[in-house]
Amino acid sequence: LHCYGSTATGLQTRLSDLDVTWVPAADGVVEDSRERDICELRRLFHTVGVLPVVLTVREEVADCAAALGPHALQARLVLPHVAPPVLRLEDEAGRAVCDITVNNCEGLRNSALLRAIGDACPAFRVLGRVVKHWAQRCGIADRARGRLSTYGLMLMLAGTLQRHGALVDDAAVAALWRD
């Protein structure tokens, strides 16, 4: 089980959720099977969810308060066509508390890059939180609704800072690609 996203990069805000991915490697090889990933998430979903399960076109929804104690959480298995499938735990207001994926190696790589940039330039994390907060308040950052992803915004911020010589020097950038 690996943490990725804003919590792993240090770019979390007070409204950030926890993003975790399970990478069940067999002999060190990560399988790339969307159907198998959906099956694994569905199995976990039915472990924490309580019947009845409500089915929609791309989601399965169940109350999981009984399985998780007094916390009024709802489990939502989201099956988007392009992005990785995700088991989302939401609070009473419908805000994501935790997103669980399987084999989301791309998310791990993206987080490692942003973490390395933040380690090289701590001001990036501060500015990144400001940009995220602004974009969320303006409704600009919402990948699920076809808007910009916060990862994309962070790459734009890093590019802008780099162009103005405020991020890291060229030798440090080259070192990021070697690591």
Question: 91 and 121: one domain?
Answer: no
Identify the pLDDT of residue 111. Answer: 97
Share of the chain above pLDDT 90, in %: 33
Q: How confident is the model at residue 30 (pLDDT cuts 50, 70, 90)?
A: low
Residue 85 sits in the same domain as residue 40: yes
- Does residue 18 sit within a domain? no
Could you tell me if 40 and 97 lie in one domain?
Answer: yes
Q: Can you give the pLDDT at residue 63?
A: 59
For 40-74, the pLDDT digits (tens) are: 887 877 776 655 556 555 666 665 555 555 556 67
Poorest-pLDDT segment among 23-37, 59-73, 94-108, 127-141: 59-73
Q: Is the pLDDT of residue 160 over 90?
A: yes
- Judge if 35 and 88 occupy the same domain: yes
Residues 147 and 110 grouped into a single domain: yes
Boundary (domain end) residue, out of 54, 88, 103: 103
Q: Which of 103, 132, 155 is the last residue of a domain?
A: 103
Q: Which of 64-68, 78-82, 114-118, 162-166 has the highest mean pLDDT?
A: 114-118
Whether 162 is covered by a domain: the verdict is yes
Clarify whether residues 44 and 79 are in a common domain: yes
CA distance 13 to 24: 29
Domain region containing 29:
24-103
* pLDDT: which is higher, 82 or 162: 162
Total domains in the fold of the chain: 2
- 114/158 same-domain check: yes
Boundary residue ending a domain (63, 82, 103): 103
Mean pLDDT, range 84-102, rounded to an integer: 84
Name, of 22-31, 90-99, 132-141, the range with top average pLDDT: 132-141
In this prediction the pTM is 0.78
pLDDT at 162 over 80: yes
Section 82-91 average pLDDT: 80
Per-residue pLDDT, averaged over 82-89, amounts to 80
